Structure 1
């Protein structure tokens, strides 16, 4: 069970508590202690001391109806009750008593010094010691003095943990990791032929593809100690602490060899070192240098294997990824059609699903989804079934959950005017009709004009029939024409344009630019790369690598290409104007139609 810790309080809280304690002590404890030191005497004793001129200071407290006085040496404090005496003032003058108007000091000077000076110092020193121990504990883990100690979690084989059977869609990665587990279980089989296992294996791929889950599966399958730590855990405030943690981690690993060490998000410490004189991170570079030293220091028979995962392999230092450190790079890519189907079936074991669910169709609709997104789709289907009062998820729940992941939930409060609804209907039918009339376009699966929380007022879903790894120039041009079909339908019917095509314009422009700058599909530039892609697993940001004149020519060709496909879409819709009107009216009435209904009306 995960420990629930109370929220941390700011430092000002503790200082306020200390000041409150001192104030309460001064206002409550000090007067009480002072009262305990006053000796009560009768009025006769007071008169005798006045006659004998043995009075020091005298304070008449009329509100409390008492007289507080000291002896001549001021070594003792007395009090007596007041009695109506008209000669009191004259008697006190004759006795030589002092009427200074000051409050009589009722406590011992030494005790007063201890309470007013020493006690506050002791309280604040104790408070400082407590706060320093707490800060050291937060920085160093459970041990308050654990500077430089590794806080890696150790996993062992568990019957309830994740196994390779729980990971689907990544068969090649599993085969690589199964080989590692087998080597740790039976190293002699490999040593007989002279083979040695890689010292390090780097798992690379987009977010959500299951890199960390594969590492957990290794922990579930292996019968050896498994150390797990994140790259950010090595980053410390003090210089040298990260390197110390690396040394401690590998020291523990060597002691428990054979074992596996898993470093998640290794790019946090493994980024390329800065060659400049300024701008470097000394702590991160020292940590990386120590990691390089530890990995290179292993010998072939130590039995310690390093697993690491990252989304940014291009940012890692070349000294870290060279053979001898990370010998093998295992891509964990987005799953293909069969992989998506297998992943859906694995996650469907956790919920109740109808027997007639077509997992192949669901997998085709979820094209491009990662393992984490597929798990979310299955969970959304179960939640939808509960909302509808059913005890199992059906095919419709899974298909709707895909739409939720792609376009968001339906906006029930969004009410379009009749004109807007008609424009959206023609827009979506324009996409679908252009796609259907082009032989190399994916078939239409669903068309809807129901607004979604993502901001889309409608969308057309196209589903590939099978795996599609390459796209020809003709297919890319057809895709651009399909993207421009919505705006073309608006211009043909309403003779105007709306803001609904903003996303279509963005995608068409991006695809056309990639055809010219990266895919070599321009006759003028031939096979010249004019654009470089960075962070291919994190969105794939592209940057131009050409002169300003070439960039201007690229812009001209992009405009020409998109314009040419836009005219193609206009021509297709003009030739099929009757079907465009008929399908738009049908979608306007139904709001959502399937691909079968669309094709039936189109082929009549």
Structure 2
């Protein structure tokens, strides 16, 4: 049996065959080194100076010559004087050269004779000039070929750098959970790629493109890969920013190249992630000029999408979380025919996503993914995957072979508020202030009707800057909030400051984040939700970048802006008065609950209910007791935000030590579906700092 067959049967890789180009390269390199050494053979020798024949004879007559050398082939006499190391070169005359040699012999001057040929000298001189050029040319040729093959370098600037999945992306719709509407919209594209004749028979044409729109982390890229995996066609994946180069025209060239490759592999799918990098509106805002390179790239993309035949089976998928900045020509039918909203999942969707991400993780018998889903309203797929991974890491850290429910609950808290900061030691006075502050939030929430149940209060510092926080978890997903509910949320946010005033008669910097969020919430009530008698249903501000928590833009005059500020201040003042009145009427309860929190450092919702019942009676907060018992047995549910918006798992830092973290409900953004169905947002929920609603 031959060695090749043995290698094939044994599964061992075949030895690499010698490359003739490498052999040539080695030969050229060897010759170059020889030439270099030849030219360096006299390196370090004394410097040679031209001298006349009379100078040589004069030096001989005066006995100044130290040594002499005669090259008969080249006809050159070189000599050295007694007074130095300089070599003197003189062209020899045949008749006189013998006289010079005889005279030197008579004077006992060391003399040597050599015989070099002119041809050898000429060859070596030519070789020393030509071979280095050949060597560098060969190296440059190999380098440019390599770069061109990889699509990089100077020779590959116009080549597409898209990643190509020839056979399968390894992702199907089974790997995507909680996006049933988006999958249904994309299923038709998959079916068309499988059975184009069925649609051609009725005269239907394949949509040229679909734009996936939604907040970060909701699975837009995953959906695009799933479409290619289901259709089992080649998949080109490219980032929008990768089209643009420092050289003008390279972006357009790469667009042409990727469409050329796609036509050769049709049917196929082209996916452009973050298309807003090249698809921004071409308006320059009234200023001359603009980004010519980006506009050329966009123009080429528009031309290519118009130019190819949809019957060839080329589908363009793109993803963005900034649809409002895209050029209108890019969004018209015939280019991106469909806009598919990929929004944050609801309760059932979160549970389905948790099942997908936990299928390869060893879970304990006590793990309840439904409870975990209820504890993470507003979370997107990336957040949930991170929580599962953090729980698994915590289990390994504690030396367990499987993940327990407490690991996952702690993971939620770690993702949102950070790790426990064990090295931060507060003074007893500050600790007491933080305790009253947090109980103030919790009691104001518990003493009002129709508020989300409190499930945890803690004064243990966290690494994201908080010295304590109060958690509220909604019993169900929320998509709308009434004016009364928003006012209650503002009152809860101001409960911490009110508790400090009632107990200590002074205030601290710990409420800075509460005030910021309460002010933003009240401002949206007046300027965006039409919940003010002073302005009525008048839009004073407009929201931008709804999927990226953009800042509101004012649409009014300075005079109206002043009235808006006054109206907001009045709402804040009324809510603060309500919070203070509630705590003054229950000051004994405030002190009792704060002392209990100071003693235990953490209270669950059930424990808070028991403390309140001791003062209010058995029938008080019956429903809250059921909620707390459901949510918080032992460790309880960790902080998250209510649904209907983008979860931003980060705690804003309050500049002073007395910072609380009343973890909020995430803001319900206005979702632009079908030219904007207005969804009334839940008040401020992006920064989990003081309450989880």
TM-score normalised over the length of structure 2: 0.72
Q: 2-side partners of 1:385 and 1:538: how far apart?
A: 33
**In the alignment, which of 422, 425, 439 is matched to residue 432 of structure 2?**
422
Match in the other structure for 2:649? none
SS at match of 1:308: strand
Q: 1-side partners of 2:266 and 2:235: how far apart?
A: 10
**In the alignment, which of 395, 403, 407 is matched to residue 413 of structure 2?**
403
**In the alignment, which of 276, 280, 290 is matched to residue 267 of structure 1?**
276
Deviations 1:219-257 (A, max 9, x none): 221222211111112102222221121112112222222
| 2:569 pairs with 1:559 | yes
Q: 2-side partners of 1:70 and 1:400: how far apart?
A: 92
**In the alignment, which of 350, 356, 369 is matched to residue 346 of structure 1?**
356
Deviations 1:124-150 (A, max 9, x none): 997799689869976984465234222
RMSD: 3.5
Match in the other structure for 1:460? 470
Does the 8 Å CA contact 1:157/1:222 hold for their aligned counterparts?
no
| 2:177 pairs with 1:168 | yes
SS at match of 2:311: coil
Does the 8 Å CA contact 1:57/1:104 hold for their aligned counterparts?
no
Does the 8 Å CA contact 1:198/1:327 hold for their aligned counterparts?
yes
**Comparing 394-403 and 244-253, the one that deviates more:** 244-253
Deviations 1:303-348 (A, max 9, x none): 1111000111111100000111111100111111111111111111
Does the 8 Å CA contact 1:203/1:332 hold for their aligned counterparts?
yes
SS at match of 2:455: strand
Q: 2-side partners of 1:348 and 1:258: how far apart?
A: 34
Structure 2, unmatched stretches of 5+, are 1-31, 49-55, 90-113, 615-693
Match in the other structure for 1:191? 200
Instruction: Measure how far apart 1:32 and its partner are.
Output: 5.4
SS at match of 1:162: coil
Deviations 1:84-106 (A, max 9, x none): xxxxxxxxxxxxx8556452269
Structure 1 pair 302/52, CA: closer, same or farther in 2 (3 Å)?
Answer: closer
SS at match of 2:76: coil
Higher relative contact order (CA 8 A, sep 6+): 2
- Give the count of matched residue pairs: 542
Match in the other structure for 1:228? 237
Deviations 1:505-527 (A, max 9, x none): 11111111111111111111111
Q: 1-side partners of 2:383 and 2:148: how far apart?
A: 35
Residue pairs, 1:9-20, within 5 angstroms:
none
Match in the other structure for 1:294? 304
Structure 1 pair 365/105, CA: closer, same or farther in 2 (3 Å)?
Answer: farther
**Comparing 480-489 and 50-59, the one that deviates more:** 50-59
Deviations 1:179-211 (A, max 9, x none): 211111112333333333321100011111111
TM-score normalised over the length of structure 1: 0.82
Q: 1-side partners of 2:242 and 2:610: how far apart?
A: 59
Deviations 1:538-584 (A, max 9, x none): 12211211100011111111111111101100011111112111111
| 2:318 pairs with 1:308 | yes
Q: 2-side partners of 1:180 and 1:246: how far apart?
A: 22
Q: 2-side partners of 1:360 and 1:55: how far apart?
A: 113
Q: 2-side partners of 1:481 and 1:120: how far apart?
A: 87
Match in the other structure for 1:449? 459
Q: 2-side partners of 1:478 and 1:307: how far apart?
A: 43
Q: 2-side partners of 1:147 and 1:55: how far apart?
A: 72
Instruction: Measure how far apart 1:263 and its partner are.
Output: 0.7
Deviations 1:264-300 (A, max 9, x none): 1111111111355624111111111111111112334
Match in the other structure for 2:551? 541
Structure 1, unmatched stretches of 5+, are 1-20, 38-48, 60-67, 79-96
Q: 2-side partners of 1:517 and 1:397: how far apart?
A: 42
Q: 2-side partners of 1:395 and 1:389: how far apart?
A: 15
SS at match of 1:526: coil
Match in the other structure for 2:293? 283
Does the 8 Å CA contact 1:377/1:398 hold for their aligned counterparts?
yes
Structure 1 pair 237/72, CA: closer, same or farther in 2 (3 Å)?
Answer: closer
Instruction: Measure how far apart 1:156 and its partner are.
Output: 3.8
Structure 1 pair 516/136, CA: closer, same or farther in 2 (3 Å)?
Answer: farther
Match in the other structure for 1:75? 76
Match in the other structure for 2:605? 595
Does the 8 Å CA contact 2:151/2:161 hold for their aligned counterparts?
no
| 2:87 pairs with 1:104 | yes
Q: 2-side partners of 1:118 and 1:300: how far apart?
A: 60
